[in-house]
Chains A and B, each alone.
Chain A
Amino acid sequence: MGFILISLIILIGIASYFLGNLRAKNLRTSNQKNLKSLSHYYGYYVALWAVVPALLILLMITSFKSFFIEQYVLSDFIALGSYTETELSLLFTQIENTALGIKLFDENTILINGAVNKLNYINKTSENLTYVTVLGLSGLLVLYSLFNINNKLNSRKIVEKFLLVLYFTCSLVAIMTTVGIIFSLLYETLRFFSQVPITDFLFGLNWSPQRVFVREAGDLDTRDLANAFGAVPLFAGTFLIALIAMCVSVPVGLLTAIYMSEYASPKVRDWAKPIIEILAGIPTVVYGFFAALTVAPLVRDIGQGAGLTVSSESALAAGFVMGIMIIPFISSLSDDVIKSVPQSLREGSYAMGATKRETIVKVLLPAALPGIVGSFLLAVSRAIGETMIVVMAAGLNAKLTANPLDAATTITTQIVVILIGDQEFDSPKTQSAFALGLTLFVVTLALNFIALQVVKKYTERYD
């Protein structure tokens, strides 16, 4: 339905553009007076009146329709007063299915049949009603705006004002996204902390939300809750894997950056840099697959060959592969930063008889340090927020360990484990995922903020 209606509105819009344009031209010839704007602006003016309010009304109708339909269909049941909110919404789904021809009920037939009929009726009427309202409104406004056109009307101003408002609204989407993220995370997190003390979450050593799942959500034992949501093992696992990743990516990334900026000929750089940046463009799910199927077994075999017990989902494998993914984040940014150290410092050092290595290690790196540290911080934030590699290659069970050969789990892994597939809402288990998400959001944001600040300080220094 929506598609046809929107197409119709757009057609009306196009038609009204020509109408407005035509009317403006006629006005000009009949009055022998100049218009305030070029004629096609009158076309846009009419078209805007035709399309924008109609689309807004349509949006409003579609967002509130389902609520009113539900109220209307269930009115008899609501009147009975014996149903709770959740039961009512369940009932509504069942009625909807019955209307589609799926048999679900064998009792309550009169009320149900009534409701099904009501549903069919209202569905049809509401559709017709929507068409009439939206198209009617559109048509009326076209007429109104056509009559509005006269020599004094400055349609260009109005059209430009509209565009400006539209642009501004679009730029607000970024704020709305942030607000949406914070709201959705905070809302569930606060409900979570009303059941599980925040201290238990932040300092507890035992993470086993599946235990809560076993029982009925109604009669949770508070002692049980306290023991199930200690996130320290997740923090530790996240930290361990990020640390391993950094151990791989920092030396490789930094040395690569040094090679690119100080040693490589322009030709080598032109080739090597984009190729290394491919590593950042490969979807993380690919790394996850690679880690789980190739690297993890390899690590295990090598470890066992050396007589060590290695988990088949070792933190080492996940961290190593993550480290490879992160290399370009460090190498590219560090490369830029090292390159932007003024040439005069290089010359000053060479003029003292320093070798390249001495110049790099003793002059360039210290001078570029803030920028390089900034790139490390961005990489850490990347590693902490990375999801697919750890979901596929790291462990699922939370165990407090510092051994890279053991399985470790991370914040992101647990969010996915909890929320993948069907969730029961209102359970502390589900809410705990949002609390983890909030933690992740805050930590990465802070890291990022510091990193940008550090890099900014650095660029100011050499501007």
Chain B
Amino acid sequence: MKSIKIKADNLNVYYGEKQALFDVSMYMEEKQVTALIGPSGCGKSTFIRCLNRMNDVIDICKVQGKIEIDGNDIYAPDMQVEQLRERVGMVFQKPNPFPKSIFENVAYGPRIHGIAEHKSDLEEIVVTSLKKAALFDEVKDRLYDAGTGLSGGQQQRLCIARAISVNPDIILMDEPCSALDPIATARIEELMGDLKTEYTIIIVTHSMQQAARVSSRTGFFHLGKLVEVDKTETIFSNPSDQRTQDYITGRFG
């Protein structure tokens, strides 16, 4: 049995009056890929954004319940979100590189957290992060060109490089491939395989094949409830809930 990295307990989330998550409890294992699937609007993004408290940015969003990372409650009053997010990186649905150079994009995190003391340290971090994100070879001649000038797939890998530049424990990915073509998607999936040796990865996806390919455990969300979470093979071959069955056989969603 692998050690548990993240544990959510009875999580309820509200947007103003509207409840978006109902009593969600699940755990995620260290250095594994966990996939979250479910029909649109079922609360996958909402859940994943609770894990690095990105929902704090939304004024009307209220979170109840408990989330522990390595046994520490991340909603505890003495928890610094800045520190939390340094440990829990995130990659978004649409690539969102800053309108700066490729180098600056990756250097941003180390700079603000004061990780690199010297310019050479910084360069090293940038290069390793780009290498880990499998982007370095493509951009090594134009590190100082604008990050927004890359292709969609490259931009997304740049965002992954940016996320791993501060050496997080966990990487959250919210539909990282939905804006990409199949080839770029394949590269990112390949990358995830490499990354999971070092990082705990949570990925939200609409593609069941993708979930099946990359993840070891899968959770199925429906209408704000976590219907079922289990080993990926179990979910796809022998789900215990009828709704999961319907979803993976394409009967709704």
Residues of A within 8 A of B (CB): 265-266, 342, 344-355, 358, 362-363, 366-367, 461
Distance (whole angstroms) from the CB of B171 to the closest CB of chain A: 10
Distance between Cα atoms of A351 and B82 in the complex (Å): 9
Tell me the interface secondary structure of chain A in the complex.
Answer: helix
CA distance A72 to B14 in the complex (A): 89
* Per-residue interface assignment for chain B, residues 93 to 121, with 1 indicating a CB less than 8 Å from any chain A CB and 0 otherwise: 01011111000000011001100000000
- How far is the CB of B201 from the nearest CB of chain A, in Å? 15
Q: Are A345 and B98 in contact, CB atoms less than 8 angstroms apart?
A: yes
Q: Is the CB of B109 within 8 A of A348?
A: no
Whole-angstrom distance between the Cβ of A338 and the nearest chain B Cβ: 14
Picked from B54, B96, B112, the residue with its CB within 8 Å of the CB of A342 is B96
Do A348 and B85 form a contact, CB below 8 Å, given A354-B112, A358-B112, A362-B108? no
Known A-B contacts A265-B59, A353-B83; the reply to A348 vs B159 at CB < 8 A is yes
Residues of B within 8 A of A265 (CB): 59
> A352 to B109, Cβ gap below 8 A?
yes
B173 CB to closest chain A CB (Å) equals: 11
Contact string, B46-71, partner A, CB cutoff 8 A, digits 1/0?
A: 00000010100101000000000000
Given known contacts A265-B59, A346-B57, A347-B57, is B100 in contact with A352 (CB within 8 Å)?
no
Contact pick for A353, options B86, B100, B159, CB 8 Å: B86
Question: CA of A209 to CA of B54 in the docked complex: distance in angstroms?
Answer: 66
A351 and B94 in contact, given A362-B112, A367-B99 (Cβ under 8 angstroms): no
B125 within 8 A of A: no
Q: Nearest 9 pairs between A and B by C-beta?
A: A353-B85, A344-B96, A351-B90, A353-B86, A348-B96, A352-B109, A353-B82, A358-B112, A367-B99
Instruction: Name the contact of A352 in the complex, choosing from B57, B99, B162 (C-beta under 8 A).
Output: B162
Q: Which residues of A contact B92 (CB under 8 A)?
A: 344, 347-348, 351
User: Cα distance A322–B112 when bound, in Å?
Assistant: 38
Q: Across the interface, do A366 and B109 meet the contact criterion of CB distance under 8 Å?
A: no
Q: How far is the CA of A350 from the CA of B54 in the complex (A)?
A: 7
Bound form: Cα–Cα A345–B147 in Å = 13
Q: Are A352 and B96 closer than 8 Å at their CB atoms?
A: no
Contact across chains for B94 and A344 when beta carbons are under 8 A apart:
yes
Within 8 A of A (CB), among B131-152: none
A350 in contact with B57 given A358-B112, A362-B108 (CB within 8 Å): yes
Bound CA span A396–B163, Å? 61
Q: Is the CB of B86 within 8 A of A363?
A: no
Does B26 make an interface contact (CB < 8 A)?
Answer: no
